[in-house]
Amino acid sequence: MRKTTSRLTSLKKAPTGIYGFDEITGGGLPAGRPTLVCGSAGCGKSLFGLEFLVRGATQYGEPGILITFEETAQDIAKNVASLGFDTDALIAKKKLVIDFVKIDRGEIEEHGEYDLEGLFIRLAHSIGAIGAKRVVLDTIEALFAGLSNQAILRSELRRLFGWLKERGMTTVITGEGAGDQLTRQGLEEFVSDCVILLDHRVVDQISTRRLRVIKYRGSTHGANEYPFLIDEHGILILPITSSGLEYEVTTERVSTGVPGLDEMLGGLGYYRGSTVLLSGTAGTGKTSVATHLAQATCARGERCLYFSFEESASQILRNVRTIGIDLQPFIRKGFLRIHSSRPTVYGLEMHLLRMHKLISQFQPSVVIVDPVSNLQTAGTNEDTNNLFVRLVDFLRKDGILGFLVSLTGGANLLEATDEGISSMVDTWLLLRDVESNGERNKVLYVLKSRGMDHSNQVREFHITSKGVKLVDAYLGPAGVLTGSARLAQEAHEMAAAEVSRQELERKELALSHRRKVMEAQIDALRAAFQAEEEEFRQLVVTEKIRVGQLETDREVMARSRRATALGRQKTNHR
């Protein structure tokens, strides 16, 4: 089983050294096989081929041959010098051969049978001369313009690719697309191993280059369209998912810079290296909250990179001074860098690249993008979301806290507009206006915060001359009350509380009164009862006395009769 897998995965790959490309393809181009790189004019095919050779020669010890049908070696050297490729030096070191094949239709006539053995000989000669491992044919379709016998050309091309494969040459063949076809001459029919499509699109006057691996026999590959750039270092592909979801996380927390907000997030603030989205409508104090974070970060002695797409650096500095934040010293000390640019000045890719670069240079622990939503003007929604995904990926990989500020339109649902990014962020704060009683008040709440205990409260906040201050918002049956409504409600509540307190007191008094009455009644009853009891006792005593008296009376009476009867009685008795 294991053997099978190892054999299956043993497709050798030749790293191109093109930034990002090897990640997409899991190692580069199929080694020893031909790859077709196609696209329309000016899409970067030739550069792809040349960079493949130059990187191969300089980084991977694989000399290469460029057979060019369009430009002379001198032209190419000049063109790529700006990219830092010194082709002349490589040629001198025998690591590169540039062979310009000139085909001039006007000079050539065809009579009878022929083959392309000359090209084979040239290739074989160059391969032998430098021990080449890589070959680029740019673009072989020029042959079809120079020679007319299609049948011969096709069979010869088939033979050529077979020949190159036999010699184990990792080959890049470029071809220009036309209409729906990948290449004008259907080169894809000869190259079955790997086909890469480059594309250069202009949408809304902003150009974006894209790369897609259409086919890669025997290997998995990213099937997406990957935006790429051509900058002073060559081709730069920013793979969306290449970094996957494999990054280290920390439990370390960093302050938000807003005291009340820290408390809302479990009292500790954001996770270091997490992604925070702050969305809100216009004028809700997003930048103020963001600058608080910047200040807190710099005050800890860490670096913060602030990308502003709305205001210039000096404008931000001036504005935040009014809320008691002075960022100037941090800029002087090099803890803070504010980078302002118009969103539409470049395409999204260029923005991302520049961010990439600045972040790698500056090594900040916090990156603020204010606002990311403005970048949407530089591309379509999908593109912007892609940009966010890649930016967030990149920040997380490097353990940088990303603070994305998003401006949501008043008409849109706050929570819906950012759904594209929301799933990527760890903490999502929402700022919004609550309009009532002729005033607008700002409230803040934590929509979500992964992995931490967070407040469910809607808090009102003020932007004061000492910064952002959170106040408990009034939550009542009528909803959230803020501002003067909150104050009025508070006064109202206080009065109501007083009334009810008094009522209670009154009731208590009444109760005690009733108790007293009751007790008095009890006392009276008891007194009555006692009186009755006493009377009864008196009665008993009287009765006793009466009975005693009766006895005595009888005795007296008897005694008075005794003269006769008593003596008899007595004797009778005895």
Partner 1 sequence: MKATAPDNNKKRRPQPGVSESAAEWKLRLYVAGQTPKSLTAFANLRRICEEHLAGRYEIEVIDLLKHPGLAQSDQIIALPTLVRKLPEPIKRIVGDLSNSERVIVGMNLEKISQPPD
* Residues near partner 1, by CB under 8 A: 99, 101-103, 107-119, 121-122, 124-126, 143, 146-147
Cβ(490)–Cβ(473) below 8 Å: no
The least CB distance from residue 104 to partner 1, in Å, is 8
Question: For residue 425, with 0-12 CB atoms within 10 Å meaning exposed, 13-18 middle and 19 or more buried, which class applies?
Answer: buried
C-alpha 489/C-alpha 455 separation (Å) is: 23
The least CB distance from residue 72 to partner 1, in Å, is 11
CB atoms within 10 A of CB 45: 26
Estimate to the nearest angstrom the gap between the alpha carbon of 20 and the chain centroid: 21
Nearer to partner 1, 109 or 166 (CB): 109
Nearer to partner 1, 115 or 533 (CB): 115
Do strands 13-14 and 253-254 pair parallel, antiparallel, or not at all (unpaired)? unpaired
Structure tokens, 37:
């790189």
The least CB distance from residue 67 to partner 1, in Å, is 10
The least CB distance from residue 364 to partner 1, in Å, is 52
CB atoms within 10 A of CB 149: 14
Identify the CA nearest to 388 among candidates 357, 348, 359, 354. Answer: 348
Nearer to partner 1, 64 or 239 (CB): 64
The least CB distance from residue 74 to partner 1, in Å, is 15
Degrees, nearest 5: CA angle 38-40-44 = 70
C-alpha 209/C-alpha 44 separation (Å) is: 9
Nearer to partner 1, 128 or 477 (CB): 128
The least CB distance from residue 98 to partner 1, in Å, is 10
Nearer to partner 1, 68 or 427 (CB): 68
Please, which residues have CB within 8 angstroms of residue 154's CB and are 6 or more apart in sequence? Answer: none
Nearer to partner 1, 18 or 143 (CB): 143
Nearer to partner 1, 120 or 362 (CB): 120
Cβ(295)–Cβ(255) below 8 Å: no
The least CB distance from residue 187 to partner 1, in Å, is 17
The least CB distance from residue 184 to partner 1, in Å, is 19
Structure tokens, 550:
């009766």
Cβ(254)–Cβ(405) below 8 Å: no
The least CB distance from residue 178 to partner 1, in Å, is 23
CB atoms within 10 A of CB 452: 18
C-alpha 414/C-alpha 165 separation (Å) is: 57
Phi, psi of 142 (to 5 degrees): -60, -25
C-alpha 103/C-alpha 105 separation (Å) is: 6
The least CB distance from residue 162 to partner 1, in Å, is 18
Nearer to partner 1, 118 or 186 (CB): 118
Degrees, nearest 5: CA angle 382-383-384 = 90
Nearer to partner 1, 122 or 300 (CB): 122
Nearer to partner 1, 122 or 462 (CB): 122
DSSP run (H or E) holding 161: helix 150-166
Question: For residue 248, with 0-12 CB atoms within 10 Å meaning exposed, 13-18 middle and 19 or more buried, which class applies?
Answer: exposed
